[in-house]
Structure 1
Amino acid sequence: MTEMPIELVAQDLNAIGYIETAAYLKWVQAVVIKHWERFASEAAQASTLWIAVKHVISHQAAGHASDALVARTQIKKLKGVRALFVTTVSNGETRLVDIESTWVCLDSITKLPKALDPDVVRLFVETGAS
């Protein structure tokens, strides 16, 4: 699992002071990439891009400007060129959102889908899932 503290900025809030859904998506993208960078070798990072193709957001509680937020992500499934990440954004013990996102692995040069090397998969999933 990878954790990332979140710093709210004014643009993350809507007119009534709640966190905008788009802000949650921005943070999911950041924590998933941080997760990849944490576990993948420099060579794997240089040869691979990750593109989000689907996000499913389940709001649990409203987020506010005064919240101390943390995003946490882990891989739920990795098969072929696709990975399913599960991310939560919380304020202390209060879960604000649960987000399942599907990502596709691309070759950094051709920009075409590519399967990860089995050694990278093993390291990415085994060390990144807990």
Structure 2
Amino acid sequence: MEDKHPQNKFSHLIKVRQEDIDVMGHVNNVVYLRWVQEVATAHWEYAAPENIKSLYLWVVLRHEIDYHRPAFLNDDIQGLTWVGTHQGAKFERFVSLYRAGSDQLLASAKTTWCLLDAVTMRPKRIEQDVLSIL
């Protein structure tokens, strides 16, 4: 996945737990997808002030994920995320998952998110109030 905005990356640490491990002895592929959403959500929670969070919600429209290396029990995972382009109510977001303290890329994802008005639950054009915090 392309690294379009390296200066604007948000970092989030994750610990691999026993319930993340599958019968092959490594993290199940579905867990990586959960982490992609966890990293994106952590970024929004960190960056958005309460008044903005009360106005908007996000839903995922699409995930593309590439698996590069396995993660194992008790690994520390560093999730990095940054946003790409936006159009209307849609925003692309990139997430890279690394073994913490190394340059070992475990998975990379590109997701498409849709901004919703928190009251009407309808898509909402992404305006400067959201752009300025991401």
Common fold by TM > 0.5: yes
Asked if residue 11 in structure 1 is aligned to residue 19 in structure 2, the reply is yes
User: Which of 89, 112, 116 is residue 106 of structure 1 equivalent to?
Assistant: 116
Aligned length: 124
What residue in structure 1 maps to residue 104 of structure 2?
A: 94
In the alignment, the residues of structure 2 paired with residue 67 and residue 39 of structure 1 have an alpha-carbon distance, to the nearest angstrom, of 26
**Structure 2 Cα separation of the partners of residues 95 and 70 of structure 1:** 10
Q: Which runs of 5+ in 1 are unaligned?
A: 125-130
In 2, Cα distance between equivalents of 1:23 and 1:51: 18
2:33 matched to which residue of 1?
25
**Runs of 4+ off more than 4 Å:** none
1:108 Cα deviation (Å)?
Answer: 0.9
What's 1:70 paired with? 78
Residue 16 of structure 2 contacts residue 72 of structure 2 at CA under 8 Å; is this kept in 1? no
Q: TM-score scaled by structure 1? A: 0.88
Among all aligned residue pairs of Structure 1 and Structure 2, give the percentage whose two residues are the same amino acid.
Answer: 25
User: Secondary structure, in 3 states, of the residue corresponding to 1:123?
Assistant: coil
So what's the TM-score if we normalise by structure 2?
0.85
Structure 2 unaligned residues grouped into runs of 5+: 1-8
